[in-house]
């Protein structure tokens, strides 16, 4: 029997991670990768990348949406988004530089609204590397 998917872990650079814990940001956005199996109520684990890596907290997925224009996230959620408009514009540009522009089909963006966000006392080292696209968490 296959292990049941109970959530997802996404890497978030250390410089952005505290926005979820200290600034009450509760909307995560990234190019859509690991999402087909996700449902509201599942666990979202914050994997801190770039420095002092590890799982540093978790939240419950409240809502999942796929959008075409990532900048629309600000119309939908305002300043609850963990990135600023400028940071998201830079992120979009960096995605285009990595060859996404050549794709004929426009890439969707994954927007996850979170609730019950809590930080762990200390980072937990994962058994396996967490790729940029994220990874499902299994029971």
pLDDT tens, residue by residue, 105-116: 578 999 999 999
Tokens of 23: 């600034």
How far is residue 8's CA from residue 68's CA, in Å, rounded to a whole number? 22
pTM for this prediction: 0.90
Burial string for 109-136 (b: 16+ CB within 10 Å, else e) reads bbbbbbeebebeeebeeeeeebeeebbb
pLDDT tens, residue by residue, 37-91: 999 999 999 999 988 899 999 999 999 999 999 999 999 999 999 999 999 999 9
Q: How far is CA 47 from the centre of its chain?
A: 9
Domains of the chain: 5-98+105-138 (2.30.130.30)
Q: Are 65 and 58 spatial neighbours (Cβ–Cβ below 8 Å)?
A: no
> Residue 42 phi/psi, 5° resolution?
-75, 170
């Amino acid at each position: 029997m296959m292990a049941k998917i109970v959530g997802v872990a996404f890497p978030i650079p250390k410089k952005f991670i505290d926005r979820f814990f200290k600034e009450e940001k509760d909307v995560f956005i990234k190019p859509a990768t690991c999402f087909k199996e996700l449902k509201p109520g599942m666990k979202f684990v914050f994997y801190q990348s770039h420095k002092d890596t590890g799982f540093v907290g978790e939240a419950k997925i409240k809502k999942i949406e796929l959008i075409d224009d990532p900048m629309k996230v600000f119309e939908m959620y305002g300043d609850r988004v963990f990135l600023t408009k400028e940071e998201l514009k830079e992120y979009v540009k960096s995605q285009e530089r990595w060859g996404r522009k050549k794709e004929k089909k426009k890439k969707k963006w994954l927007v996850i609204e979170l609730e019950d966000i809590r930080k762990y006392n200390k980072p937990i080292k994962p058994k396996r590397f967490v790729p940029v696209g994220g990874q499902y968490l299994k029971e």
